[in-house]
Amino acid sequence: MHSFLSAGAIFEQGKDEVKNAFAFAVQAHNQNASGRRFELQAYVDVINTADAFKLSRISE
């Protein structure tokens, strides 16, 4: 039985290479069955806001 850990990150708009690197790292971790104790589940949402305070309050 696998344990799952949700992972999220905030990326600047227009920085697809950083978002892709995050997704690649999650996928690489999940494919490493020999040393993996949990599987990551990455969630990506696009949020259009320049207000950092508003962004930090969205998850509450």
| Per-residue confidence band for 6, with pLDDT thresholds at 50, 70 and 90 | confident
* HSE of 32, CA atoms in CB hemisphere, 13 A: 11
Report, as an integer, the average pLDDT of 17-28: 88
45, 41, 12, 8: which is closest to 27 by C-alpha? 41
pLDDT at 49 over 70: no
* Every domain of the chain and the residues it spans: 4-57
